[in-house]
């Protein structure tokens, strides 16, 4: 199974749209087999660009914190499952998902593209 998570300092980035990198995680036997970092530079808030970049990596599932409805739709339309409301370290979140113990608080970003950086 291959998942992706927006990453920031080894943690799940809580704002999908502003992430500058994704952790691409290969899971095998409910453990992290390999992790690579994929730059998202220049694609922040580009729904189609992000979706197709991740699809090219053969991602099955996105695990994230907050995410907007348009981004959820873009990912789902190309067959990527979205699990939102996650937080914590990348490895812990990935392994919790693999074992079915990931606790989430599903939420959508309602910023409407108005971000305060």
Residues facing 27 on adjacent strands: 32
**Cβ 26 vs Cβ 84: under 8 Å:** no
Residue that has been written with the tokens 């730059």 in this structure: 39
CB-facing half-sphere around the CA of 37: CA atoms within 13 A: 12
pLDDT in the model for residue 106: 66
pLDDT in the model for residue 44: 65
Mean pLDDT of 11-21: 89
Interval 25-46: pLDDT, tens:
999 999 999 999 999 877 766 6
Interval 58-83: pLDDT, tens:
999 999 999 988 889 999 999 999 99
* pTM confidence score: 0.85
Query: Which sequence spans correspond to the domains of the chain?
Result: 2-99
Q: Predicted confidence band at 107 (pLDDT cuts at 50, 70, 90)?
A: low
Interval 85-97: pLDDT, tens:
999 999 999 999 9
The yes-or-no verdict on residue 100 having pLDDT over 50 is: yes
Q: How many whole angstroms separate alpha carbon 57 and alpha carbon 70?
A: 21
Arch. (CATH architecture) of 2-99 = 2-Layer Sandwich (3.30)
């Amino acid at each position: 199974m291959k998942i992706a998570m927006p990453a920031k300092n080894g943690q799940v980035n809580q704002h999908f749209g502003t992430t500058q990198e994704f952790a691409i995680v290969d899971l095998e036997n409910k453990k992290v087999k390999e992790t690579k970092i994929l730059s998202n530079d220049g694609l922040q808030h580009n729904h189609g660009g992000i979706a197709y970049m991740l699809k090219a990596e053969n991602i099955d599932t996105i695990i994230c914190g907050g995410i907007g409805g348009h981004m959820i739709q873009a990912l789902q339309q190309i067959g990527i499952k979205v699990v939102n409301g996650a937080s914590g370290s990348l490895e812990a979140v990935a392994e919790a998902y693999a074992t079915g113990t990931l606790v989430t608080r599903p939420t959508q970003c309602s910023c409407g593209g108005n971000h305060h950086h």
